[in-house]
Amino acid sequence: MREKKQHFHLEPPRGLLNDPNGLSYFNGKYYVFFQWNRFVKDHSYKEWGMFTSPDMVRWTFEGSALLPDQTYDMCGVYSGSGLVIDEKLYLFYTGNVKKGGKRKSHQCMAVTENGQKFLKLGSVAETPEYFTEHFRDPKVFRTESGTYFMVTGAQRKSGKGALALFRSGDGLTWEYSGIPAVTEEYEMVECPDLFPIDGTYVLLYCPQRRDNEKDTDISSFSAVKTVRFNEREGTFDDADLDQNFSRTDFGFDFYAPQTFEAPDGRRILYAWMSRMDGEQEEIFSRGDPRIHCLTLPREFKVTAGKLIQTPVKELEQLKGAEVPPIRCEDGTVRLLPGDRTFFLHFTLPGPGRDVSVRFHSGESSLTWVPEAKQVRFTRKNWVTGKTESRECRIERLREVEIWSDQSSMEIFLNGGEAVMSSRIFPEDTAPGVVIKGLSANEAIQMNEINGGKKDVIL
């Protein structure tokens, strides 16, 4: 069995990572906080861990940032966001308390002046009467008018999900503003994000099915849609979370995305690269001190009316030596990188040809079937041993870009028109890629990843 430790994705040295939190640029550094259980590889404990970087390529693991050590967050420092206000970095998070089987949520705030020491300021927003205590994940943003808003995931007392909105004049004192959107299909909404791009607002959210009687989650995914946000009224033109959305990512492993604004105005996204259940987690991490990682940083933008995700330009620094393609007489192309970590880009022939890509002796594969207008990614399930697949519908596939790490792949289709992100259980000891269906004129580029070891980057 090959090692699963990632080489250029963010993951802690031990324990379990989940949601990215508090994404921000402050005092000349990028900050990525994350949900962390540093003790064991399960979800029984939550604090915030922290990475910092000058360029989103070279990262330093800073250890713990926020611990569950107050009466209002004693059972977990849950997810939240960050925002720079008056040259200080403020962190907003959900403090979780459970007593006698009853849950209580507090939307809390902490502040730092130097990015190292964090002062908790307590609860700044309590759960309004219309909701259950499944009320969490505050994302705070400031509009051009100077008004601050906090959007949170929520469950109404009807047992169905919603978003809740708070507003503030200074980002420090908050008042409840209302319910901008609801779902009648799902029991909960998690990890919302709301931000403007080119005159429209983009809404990210995670609809979740729950068994309300047992208080357990069943399934969830990340959704994205565009809305018009009426700042004065605190409302959306489309308040139905069950309609007019797309999946943010079409792969196996993508959840809880969060964005922030870079100094040059780009909207940057990170997400948790996992949707594993408990049995998958146990087997995947067996023999390793850690489990889970974040996606690569992506620029989120709107191009020709389409939502586009592309790897940030800083990642070009990771591209190392080129791997020459070996073109066979039957039209097959073989590429033999020195490691499982590589960058691969190729263009496709006309719309009528099937194309397939096989990775590492069949551990995973990518196929394009133009008649069905379908891209399919297939991998081997490490619990059952059977193959499983995810599909994405595209009118015409023109180009494919792949960033492969030791135990993951992020596949960008048509310049980021759609993305498929998945963890891969590494087994093959001889890495290789076989592409079928390309013409002799199609451009193919493969690069090894500089350094080849995550320790060089972190």
SS3 call for 416: coil
Residue in 19, 137, 193, 253 annotated catalytic: 19
Cβ contact 27:304 at 8 Å? no
Q: pLDDT of 389-446, one tens digit each? A: 999 999 999 999 999 999 999 999 999 999 999 999 999 778 999 999 998 888 999 9
Q: What is the DSSP letter of 309?
A: E
Run of H or E residues at 280: helix 278-284
Where in the chain is CATH 2.60.120.560?
314-457
Q: Where in the chain is the domain with CATH 2.115.10.20?
A: 15-290
Q: In what order do the strands lie in the sheet with 387-393?
A: 326-327, 333-335, 433-436, 355-359, 364-369, 374-380, 387-393
Q: What's the longest Cα–Cα distance across the chain?
A: 70
Residue 305 has a pLDDT of: 83
pTM for this one? Answer: 0.96
Give 343-361 pLDDT, tens digit per residue.
Answer: 999 999 877 789 999 999 8
pLDDT confidence of residue 457: 47
- The DSSP secondary structure of 359-413, one letter per residue, reads EGGGTEEEEEETTTTEEEEEEE-TTT--EEEEEEE-S---EEEEEEETTEEEEEE
Distance of alpha carbon 215 from alpha carbon 292, whole angstroms: 24
Split at pLDDT 50, 70, 90, the class of 453 is very low
What pLDDT, on a 0 to 100 scale, did the predictor assign at position 198? 84
For 127, which DSSP code?
Answer: P
For residue 19, indicate whether it is catalytic.
yes
Residue range 152-185, pLDDT digits in tens: 999 999 999 999 999 999 999 999 999 999 999 9
C-alpha separations of 445 from 324, 345, 435, 457 in Å? 8, 5, 12, 23
Centre a 10 Å sphere on the Cβ of residue 314 and count the other Cβ atoms it contains: 17
Task: Decide yes or no: CATH 2.115.10.20 for domain 15-290.
Answer: yes
From the CB of residue 364, how many other CB atoms can be counted at a distance below 10 Å? 21
CATH fit for domain 314-457, picks 2.60.120.560, 3.40.50.300, 2.60.40.2130, 3.90.1300.10: 2.60.120.560
pLDDT, tens digit, 9 for 90 and up, residues 33-49? 999 999 999 999 999 99
